[in-house]
Amino acid sequence: MKKQNNHPLEGRKLYIPRMSTGAARAMAAAFQALGVDAQVSPESDAETLALAAGVTTGEECLPQRVVLGNFMKVMQAPDFDPSKTAFFLPTSAGPCRFGQYAPFLRKYLRDRGLEEVVVFSPTSSDQYGGMAEHVGRLMRTGFRAIVASDILRKCLYMFRPYEKIPGSADRIHDEGLDRICGILSDGSQPLKEQLIGLVQELVMFRDRIADLPLREPRGSRPLIGVVGEIFLRFNSYSNQQIVRRIENAGGEVWIADFAEWVWYTRHEVERKLRESGKRFSPGMAAAKYRRRVQHADEKTLLAPFRDLFRDRQECPVDRVLKYSEPYLPAQKALGEMTLNAGKTVAYYHAGCDGVADISPFTCMNGIVTEAIYPVISRDHDDFPARIFYFDGVPADLDTDLEIFMELVRGYRQKCKIKEQRIKNEE
């Protein structure tokens, strides 16, 4: 594909927020395929939060402070040039603070005379920020980037707790990610060839990780479903490396993937069209077409993992929402709270031994689900489900985790005894 001209990103470096490093790198590669000089925003650390603290009021949620602080790091670099910089910041009109990220950043820039910096928040109403010409390819490649990085992460978490040589699963994951990004960033490839190339790389990755020498059999550890606020779930700095800590405490993690949010937003678009009497409308036809195309891409990318993911099938989003119905009905309680409640039930049915919900302190989603989990737990054999709050302040997470893991082990033992009793009765 030829490099595009006269769009707002021409001649600029576009910084992608580092939600998960894998997904952010893959998304940057999707932009690179359009000729955009995209790269992932800097790693988060104490400086990130210190910078954000200087300009925020304390009302902002942790993800907003992390994203802002990392963009501020870019602006503090000696070679920062506002006329050559853009920040990627998707937006939403929803009730949570996510919709405030971009306006807040714009105000920050305005107050400092840095209006030349582009805050790139593409929506259909602004012709996708001047990128309308390539939006089809960007959305297609971007979704493939999300699915491919979800697959790599899922495999990493399935194998890493059992690896014989410390670091070997991470190495295979990182090399697989490099190769996937290489394909995604190649704008000369037609979309069909891109998909074939991605599948070939994923097959090679699968074979390498499945060959990893293990020190204990896979599946011998308690399986912890991880749900929660999407940024925090994937940003290991913000969640104090919770996945590693669960692994260090003897567990294995199955994290709700990134694509789940894409399917949820698709589901919501169609629901709103139906409820506004547009069941048969061009908008609905376009929404259904997009869903079918993305579904086909996802199916193709997942096909080589049919066997490996036999006991890691993602619950379709409409079933997740059905599961949440008795607790937080999707028509009344929007967003992550309903997804996380439903996903907890889905993890119970999928054979997990417990669920950890990762939530920013003061986020409404976590506050609501925390109140709901005891009821879900009571309705599902005392399935352990608990929330872990984060606010950027190092806390003694290990003690809390150890208590949670004790509950999980007790539940697992109880399930084994029940299984054995059923077998004996047969």
Q: Using CB under 6 A, list all residues that contact ligand SF4.
A: 61, 63-64, 96-98, 229, 231, 336, 360, 363, 365
What strands, in cross-sheet order, belong to the sheet with 223-228? Answer: 252-255, 223-228, 354-360, 385-390
Residue 235 or residue 377: which is nearer to ligand SF4 going by CB? 235
Q: What are the residues whose beta carbons fall under 8 Å from the beta carbon of 225, sequence distance 6 or more?
A: 254, 255, 256, 343, 344, 346, 347, 350, 352, 354, 355, 356
Closest approach, Cβ 40 to ligand SF4, in A, equals: 19
Residue 157 or residue 234: which is nearer to ligand SF4 going by CB? 234
Closest approach, Cβ 393 to ligand SF4, in A, equals: 16
Closest approach, Cβ 41 to ligand SF4, in A, equals: 16
Closest approach, Cβ 49 to ligand SF4, in A, equals: 15
Residue 67 or residue 408: which is nearer to ligand SF4 going by CB? 67
Residue 64 or residue 344: which is nearer to ligand SF4 going by CB? 64
Residue 239 or residue 294: which is nearer to ligand SF4 going by CB? 239
Residue 119 or residue 363: which is nearer to ligand SF4 going by CB? 363
Closest approach, Cβ 367 to ligand SF4, in A, equals: 10
Residue 96 or residue 199: which is nearer to ligand SF4 going by CB? 96
Residue 93 or residue 422: which is nearer to ligand SF4 going by CB? 93
Closest approach, Cβ 98 to ligand SF4, in A, equals: 4
Residue 32 or residue 64: which is nearer to ligand SF4 going by CB? 64
Closest approach, Cβ 170 to ligand SF4, in A, equals: 27
Residue 234 or residue 348: which is nearer to ligand SF4 going by CB? 234
Closest approach, Cβ 9 to ligand SF4, in A, equals: 24
Closest approach, Cβ 127 to ligand SF4, in A, equals: 26
Closest approach, Cβ 149 to ligand SF4, in A, equals: 20
Of 242, 264, 269, give the one whose Cα is nearest residue 355: 242
Q: How far apart are CA 134 and CA 157, in angstroms?
A: 34
**3-class secondary structure per residue, the chain:** CCCCCCCCCCCCEEEECCCCHHHHHHHHHHHHCCCCEEEECCCCCHHHHHHHHCCCCCCCCHHHHHHHHHHHHHHHCCCCCHHHEEEECCCCCCCCHHHHHHHHHHHHHHHCCCCCCEEECCCHHHHHHHCHHHHHHHHHHHHHHHHHHHHHHHHHHHHHHHECCCCHHHHHHHHHHHHHHHHHCCCCCCHHHHHHHHHHHHHHHHHHHHCCCECCCCCCCCEEEEEECHHHHHCCCCCCCHHHHHHHCCCEEEECCCHHHHHHHHHHHHHHHHHCCCCCCHHHHHHHHHHHHHHHHHHHHHHHHCCCCCCCCCCCHHHHHHHHCCCCCCCCCCCHHHHHHHHHHHHHHCCCCEEEEEEECCCHHHHHHHHHHHHHHHHCCCCCEEEEEECCCCCCHHHHHHHHHHHHHHHHHHHHHHHHHHHHHC
